[in-house]
């Protein structure tokens, strides 16, 4: 199979935008992604598009995939909408890579968009809940925060993880998000802020939970046959892994791991022929603070039960051994469900192209993105590498 490369990626601001539609948000991300390609790209050269969205907000009902591609002028090309809850556009990127590797396309647009702030809090809580297990969790009254609170409580009981460990995730990600002009919650918070905030679902406080967001993100994936036309410093998508699992937390054998993340990561590492030690930075799915701690362990950055110690050590901060969520993560940057996975690719592109500004990881040559659907019913992992650096 052919190699696939990331030659451009961009996003809108994430936040609340009552004057925007899903079409206008997608256009902003699409045009910025085209502009980010070093040698430029003619939209008419795009062979195919894959768009991730949950698509249940009041302003985005309908045939949203073709609606956004038509709106930006990609008339007539195949467009597939992907819905896999919070992993929608992570899977869209995976589909784009598959199309390129198979030889069916040379240039594929992978994007995502979501409008989440146009419905009531009760309605939002409902349709977020149906991204997980509906019959036995959502309809019995369990919220998404409640599901992740169960994971946090189990990890605390089994491994001695503390509320301070959860809060250090929030402090770190807010510090990074304060350096990201696209972040919805682009301000710093103190350890005391995070620990003493209102309880949402014990032991999770408000600062342990990501916001609901509007936004869009796009990535341009091309084949090895045409990559030299667009950049002289290619970023190769070296590994891709995906997995699914039982949707309901109560159906799984463990509350202290996300098995789909573990399996997806292993597949991505094997394809890229790397180990966790080779990863210089990572964007992981931190919809709740406990989710980031679980990701450390599931991705192999530390042993089970050591995630709390890892975040407390500073190893995952900017300047640490392996910075995680330099964008601010879902926690600070925001979480427009369908745009999140593609948004992670935006940060990976910036880091590997040396354009992350204050957030730049020095010497970054290999990164990872990790996108989870629901409470772990689906997961997708990408390993990206700056080809000139890894071959040197």
Helix pair 259-272, 289-298: axis angle to 10 deg: 50
> Distance of CA 76 to CAs 37, 53, 73, 154, 223, Å?
23, 20, 9, 50, 21
71 part of the active site: no
Beta-bridge partners for 23: none
pLDDT of residue 390: 87
Low-confidence ranges of the chain (pLDDT < 50): none
Q: What is the pLDDT of residue 48?
A: 98
CATH superfamily assigned to domain 4-119+211-390: Thiolase/Chalcone synthase (3.40.47.10)
Measured between its terminal Cα atoms, the distance across the chain in Å is 23
Domain boundaries, the chain: 4-119+211-390
Contact 364, 351 (CB under 8 A): yes
Q: Are 299 and 243 in contact (CB under 8 A)?
A: no
Q: Which residue has the tokens 């956004």?
A: 68
- Catalytic option among 155, 165, 182, 335: 335
Q: Which residues of 339-359 are buried (b: 16+ CB within 10 A; e: fewer)?
A: bbbbbbbbbbbbbbbeebeeb
218 is catalytic: no
Beta-bridge partners for 114? 215
Sheet strand arrangement including 107-114: 79-82, 48-52, 107-114, 215-223, 4-11, 235-244, 378-386, 366-373, 281-283
Which one of 34, 79, 86, 210 is the catalytic residue?
86
* CA distances to 64, 107, 322, 356 from 310, in Å: 41, 39, 10, 24
| Phi and psi angles of residue 355, each rounded to the nearest 5 degrees, phi first | -120, 30
Report CA-CA distances (Å) from 251 to 86, 371, 374: 20, 21, 14
Token pair for 98: 């598959």
pTM of the model: 0.96
Cβ atoms of residues 226 and 213 within 8 Å: no
Query: Which spans in the chain are helix H?
Result: 22-36, 64-71, 88-102, 121-129, 144-159, 163-177, 191-196, 259-272, 289-298, 307-313, 329-333, 340-352, 387-390
Strand 235-244 and strand 378-386: the pairing is: antiparallel
User: Environment class of residue 33 by beta-carbon count within 10 Å: exposed (0-12), middle (13-18) or buried (19+)?
Assistant: buried
The predicted structure's pLDDT at residue 158: 98
Each residue's pLDDT tens digit, 145-171: 999 999 999 999 999 999 999 999 999
Torsion-angle region of 23 (φ positive above 0: left; ψ -120 to 50: alpha; else: beta): alpha
Report the C-alpha gap between 46 and 109 in whole angstroms: 7
Q: Which of 227, 286, 228 is nearest to 258 (CA)?
A: 286
Express each pLDDT in 30-84 by its tens digit.
999 999 999 999 999 999 999 999 876 656 667 889 999 999 999 899 999 999 9
Helix (H, G, I), strand (E, B) or coil at 325: coil
**Alpha-carbon torsion (146, 323, 307, 270), positive or negative:** positive
SS3 262: helix
């Amino acid at each position: 199979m052919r190699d696939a490369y990331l030659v451009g990626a961009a996003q809108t601001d994430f936040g609340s935008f009552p004057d925007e539609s899903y079409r206008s948000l997608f256009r902003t991300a699409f045009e910025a992604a085209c502009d980010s390609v070093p040698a430029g790209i003619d939209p008419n050269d795009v062979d195919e598009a894959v768009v991730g969205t949950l698509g249940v907000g009041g302003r985005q009902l309908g045939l949203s995939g073709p609606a956004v591609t038509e709106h930006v002028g990609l008339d007539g090309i195949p467009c597939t909408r992907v819905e896999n809850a919070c992993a929608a556009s992570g899977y869209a990127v995976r589909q784009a890579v598959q199309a390129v590797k198979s030889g069916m396309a040379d240039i594929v647009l992978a994007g995502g968009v979501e409008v989440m702030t146009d419905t009531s809090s009760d309605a939002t809580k409902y349709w977020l809940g149906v991204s997980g297990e509906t019959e036995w969790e959502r309809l019995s009254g369990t919220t998404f925060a409640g599901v992740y609170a169960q994971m946090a409580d189990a990890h605390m009981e089994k491994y001695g993880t503390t509320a301070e460990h959860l809060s250090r995730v929030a402090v770190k990600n807010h510090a990074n998000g304060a350096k990201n002009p696209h972040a919805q919650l682009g301000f710093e918070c103190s350890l005391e802020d995070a620990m003493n905030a209102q309880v949402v679902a014990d032991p999770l406080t408000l600062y342990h939970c990501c916001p609901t967001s509007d936004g869009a993100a796009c990535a341009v994936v091309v084949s090895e046959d045409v990559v030299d036309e667009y950049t002289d410093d290619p970023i190769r998508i070296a590994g891709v892994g995906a997995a699914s699992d039982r949707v309901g937390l109560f159906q799984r054998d463990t509350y202290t791991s996300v098995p789909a993340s573990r399996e997806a990561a292993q597949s991505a590492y094997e394809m890229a022929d790397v180990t966790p030690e080779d990863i210089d930075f990572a964007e992981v799915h931190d919809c709740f603070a406990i989710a980031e701690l679980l990701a450390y362990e599931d991705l192999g950055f530390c042993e089970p039960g050591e995630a709390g110690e890892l975040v407390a050590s500073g190893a995952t901060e900017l300047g640490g051994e392996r910075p995680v969520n330099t964008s601010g993560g879902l926690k600070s940057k925001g979480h427009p469900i369908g745009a999140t996975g593609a948004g992670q690719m935006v940060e990976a592109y910036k880091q590997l192209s040396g354009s992350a500004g204050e957030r730049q990881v020095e010497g970054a040559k290999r990164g990872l993105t990790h996108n989870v659907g629901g409470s772990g019913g689906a997961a997708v992992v990408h390993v990206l590498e700056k080809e000139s650096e890894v071959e040197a």
